[in-house]
Amino acid sequence: MNKTILRVEGMTCNNCKIKLEHGLSSLKNVIDVQVFVSKNKLIVTHDDQLVLDDIKNEISRLGYHVSLTKNNMIVRNIITYVSLLVLAYFIIKYENRVSFDFIPNIRQSMGYGTLFIVGLFTSLHCVAMCGGIGLSQCSKQVSGNKLQPSFLYNLGRLISYTMIGAIVGGIGNVISITGQSKGYFTLLISVLMIAMSLKMLKLLHFNIPQFYKNNKNISIKKTTSNKNPLIVGLLNGFMPCGPLQTMQLYALGTGSILMGALSMFYFGLGTFPLMFALGFISTFLNSRFSKKILSFSGLLVFILAVSMFSRALSLSGLAIINTNSGDIIQASIEDNVQIVEFDLSSDKYEPIQVKKDIPVKLIINASPESINGCNNPLTVPKLDVTAKLKPGINIIEFTPTSEGKIVYTCWMGMITSYIDVIE
């Protein structure tokens, strides 16, 4: 009795495990097959009469292929890690150097039909930022109803959007979560998402709970009916996504469970068609493309997670990662009060410099055109200040008590600047 250990590329989920176990077990002289998807490895126990080429040919017939040697895989993984670090650097450095004029200025007077249209256009953002998560679920389908995984994933999104809308609509202004607390929570989520993306890219190995029985006697068709896409879709509603958080703020402002739920439902319904089509198309790709799809999905999730991480640092007030501001504005002192005044831009805040232990009056002149769904409200996490900007003159007052740079940012962490406090 011999054991042959091979590294196999193309495995993405438990269906791949069952498919390989069934296929290789059907070979004559095979005694046992063990497949480890997370490690890209399988172990075949067989007698002396079975040759290695028979195993490789069967693996190829099933749509997978024997991968590189262990040393070559280590070199490849190192190159991939370095590439991801470089990518993360450029994401953090340049992600805020964009204009946010395209973000709709959500108003309480908007009707449900308008909210549907907002969702329809916002789905372009969903495909770019969250499409990788949907693809990772839908590309696992190997047989059965091709519509099911994409439908379940997007149904889960719609349910979670509606439930969250009802919750925040009912809460209203009773409970207020500060920008700093939101930043800490987003930091945790972004770290978990980075770990998930590395797992999808086969660079990190850990086990996650399976929502179906791991039994080699279950047919592949049955295992594809698991509810993983539905569960992932339900969790999608908790993603710290800019447009999604804008709509949650809208639902919060309704002060009604019913209106909050309906607002998020119609918005989610608008995002449904494009996201559903994306997932449905991915189910037609055969197993030879499944690894590429999962790698692409993992890369999208990584980009989203790193972007979230940099924004979370701003929201929590821990670090000034990226600013798209101009020259620093120095305060003038009048009657022992520091006066700082600037005009609000749609896509940036201005850096300012003030002195310690002297009261500050920050005056922000905002035109209706300069206020959008991203730059309003403005938060200073370290000082626990949140200012809802309105057209006209907006005044924020505080007294800095220590030297150093204080982060101030939009409520999503996308537009960031700083207050430089000097002696």
As a whole number of angstroms, the distance between CA 337 and CA 331 comes to 9
d(CA 377, CA 410): 6
- The confidence score (pLDDT) of residue 288 equals 53
Quote the Cα angle for 331-335-340, to 5°. Answer: 20
At 104 the pLDDT is 47
HEC string of 229-264 equals: HHHHHHHHCCCCCHHHHHHHHHHHHHCCHHHHHHHH
DSSP state, 377? S
Token pair of 331 as six digits: 């305060």
Residue 338: per-residue pLDDT: 93
pLDDT value, residue 242: 58
Q: What pLDDT sits at residue 360?
A: 92
Q: Convert 323-343 to b/e letters by CB count within 10 Å (16 or more is b).
A: bbbeeebebeeeeeebebbbe
pLDDT per position as a tens digit, 357-380: 999 999 999 998 888 777 888 888
Cα separation, 48 vs 405, in Å, equals 71
Low-confidence ranges of the chain (pLDDT < 50): 99-109, 142, 208-225
Asked if 142 and 283 touch (Cβ cutoff 8 Å), the reply is no
No. of helices (H) and no. of strands (E), the chain: 11, 14
pLDDT of residue 103: 47
Look up residue 328 and give its DSSP letter. P
Question: What DSSP element (H or E) covers 270?
Answer: helix 257-282
Angle at alpha carbon of residue 289, lines to 283 and 295, rounded to 5°: 95
Q: How far is CA 65 from CA 10, 61, 201, 274, 291, in A?
A: 7, 9, 17, 33, 11
Radius of gyration of the chain, Cα coordinates, nearest whole angstrom = 26
Closest of 343, 332, 336, 338 to residue 368, by C-alpha: 343
Q: How far is CA 385 from CA 338, 396, 406, in A?
A: 18, 8, 12
Name the helix (H) or strand (E) containing 420. Answer: strand 416-422
* Closest-CA residue to 229 (of 308, 164, 181, 283): 283
Cα–Cα distance measured from residue 68 to residue 41, given in angstroms and rounded to the nearest whole number = 11
CB neighbours of 234 closer than 8 A, spacing ≥ 6?
156, 157, 159, 160
**Where are the extended beta strands (E) located within 47-162?**
65-66
Return d(Cα 327, Cα 114) in angstroms, integer. 39
Q: Given this model, what pLDDT does residue 240 score?
A: 57
Going from the N-terminus, what domains does the chain have, and what CATH number goes with each? Answer: 2-66 (3.30.70.100), 100-315 (no CATH), 329-422 (2.60.40.420)
Please give the model's pTM, rounded to 2 decimal places: 0.57
SS3 341: strand
